[in-house]
Amino acid sequence: MQNLLDFDAEGLMAWFAERGEKPFRARQVQRWVHRFGETDFDAMTDVAKSLRAQLKETACIQPPVPIRDSISTDGTRKWLMDVGNGNAVETVYIPETNRGTLCVSSQAGCALDCAFCSTGKQGFNRNLTAAEIIGQLWIANRLLGPVRDARSPAASEDRIISNVVMMGMGEPLANFDNVVSALRLMLDDNAYGMSRRRVTVSTSGIVPAMDRLRDECPVALAVSLHAPNDALRDQLVPINRKYPLKELLAACVRYLDRAPRDFVTFEYIMLAGVNDQDVHLRQLIEIARQVPCKYNLIPFNPFPNSGFRKSAAPVVRRFSQLLNEAGIVTTTRKTRGDDVDAACGQLAGQVKDKTRRTLTNTIPIHEVRE
């Protein structure tokens, strides 16, 4: 049985063409599956009965299966999704006054081993399929409730989920093809009809894939910076050893040629005594002179045996104030869902360290701050 969630529009039309069906049939089915969240082929009333009968024999709509549903006191909701063979990923919905954001995972685990991230501690299991990625959005829409008028032309504007961020488990650009298929569905007017400005991919800095994303499916870009110099970033974000800051910043500038926003968001997790000193502040200001950007400061969310402490609130406020005074738009991410381990860096936090990495087998952090 072919899972139709695995296809973006082009793939679905090709699959239908192989069966002698015209492209408009693929568009009809795509609308039923993604806009209306339908799984019953018999309910697709504008599709020919003969085609519905064929689909029942050859196809299915199978998203990941939620096996745990946790709701924070602040309204943040986290699902643990079963993706088979003992693997599970986490998806987080963050409600706000004027928008609802879904944080989507792209891999089961992560191979990049960023020092401060609990997801990396579970090691890397596998890439998610396109169906497992878009399926998180599909299932979240159903569980959060129907749109006000699912059949209306403006239905996408009525959805509870208005924004998607690829900031869950995994490095999205290390699973490029499947992520881009899912992105195309998010943007497709016959599916979720989202604006490119409301879909964000976050990367640790895989430079060749950033260039591919710019060319094939440019959406809003966030970069997990976390350190303003190579020596420190080598320790906190090991992919920097392959694509150092000079190459990363140049790729950001290239990306902006086709991006839906005129800036890159640099994510910067605040670690006490590690990357929150005045020297780091000066280096961040210098980076902003090279790349049109905004900074998103992220208070560190502790997890067992991390080896890090969160920067004190006054330190974070001072960082934000001085960056703003330097003319750089800077925000501080509000910690959401930490009581259900749904905050930034906490996904899959209650796992054993499978990376065999400890702070004792790296260069001591305090030796590389400069």
One-letter amino acid at 249 equals: L
Catalytic residue among 90, 132, 171, 267: 90
Asked if 245 and 239 count as a contact pair (C-beta separation under 8 A), the reply is: no
Domain boundary among 60, 78, 103: 60
3-class state of residue 183 by DSSP: helix
- Token pair of 324, please? 């703003």
pLDDT of residue 342: 44
150 shares its domain with 121 = yes
DSSP string, 46-82: TS-HHHHHHHHHHEE--PPEEEEEEE-TTS-EEEEEE
Residue at which a domain ends, from 29, 60, 91: 60
101 and 233 share one domain: yes
3-state secondary structure of 16: helix
- Choose the final residue of a domain: 38, 60, 82: 60
Q: What is the CATH number of the domain that holds 35?
A: 1.10.150.530
Q: Are residues 72 and 56 in the same domain?
A: no
Do residue 133 and residue 247 come from a single domain?
yes
Domain count along the chain? 2
Per DSSP, 12 falls in state H
Model's pTM, two decimal places?
0.88
Shared domain check, 83 and 162: yes
Q: For the chain, state the CA radius of gyration.
A: 21
Residue 247 is among the residues annotated as catalytic for this protein? no
Domain co-membership, 192 together with 271: yes
Q: Token pair of 287, please?
A: 């980076």
Q: What angle do CA 331, 334, 335 make, to 5 degrees?
A: 145
Nearest one of 159, 191, 164, 136 to 9, comparing CA atoms: 191
User: What is the residue range of 272's domain?
Assistant: 65-367
Whether residue 21 is found in the same domain as residue 127: no
Domain co-membership, 288 together with 179: yes
The per-residue pLDDT for 350 is 43
Beta partners for 60?
A: 3
pLDDT at residue 158, as a whole number:
58
- What three-state secondary structure class fits 7? coil
* DSSP line for 120-158: GGG-EEEEPPHHHHHHHHHHHHHHH---TTTTSTTHHHH
Catalytic residue among 267, 325, 344, 367: 344
CA 185 from centre of chain: 15
The answer to whether the beta carbons of residues 229 and 187 sit under 8 Å apart is no
Same domain, 132 and 27: no
- Which two tokens mark 175? 């699973």
Any catalytic annotation for residue 60? Answer: no
pLDDT at 357 (0 to 100): 37
Does 54 lie in the same domain as 162?
Answer: no
d(C-alpha 100, C-alpha 165), whole Å:
11
Q: Which of 111, 53, 104, 67 is CA-nearest to residue 347? A: 104
Same domain for 181 and 301, yes or no, is: yes
From first to last of its 370 residues, the chain has per-residue pLDDT tens of 999 999 999 999 999 999 999 999 999 999 999 999 999 999 999 999 999 999 999 999 999 999 999 998 888 999 999 998 889 999 999 999 889 999 999 999 999 989 888 877 778 899 999 999 999 999 999 999 755 444 554 444 456 899 999 999 999 999 999 999 999 999 999 999 999 999 999 999 999 999 999 999 999 999 999 999 999 999 999 999 999 999 999 999 999 999 999 999 999 999 999 999 999 999 999 999 999 999 999 999 888 878 899 999 999 999 999 999 999 999 998 875 455 554 444 445 444 444 433 332 333 333 333 3
Same domain, 225 and 362: yes
pLDDT at 346: 47
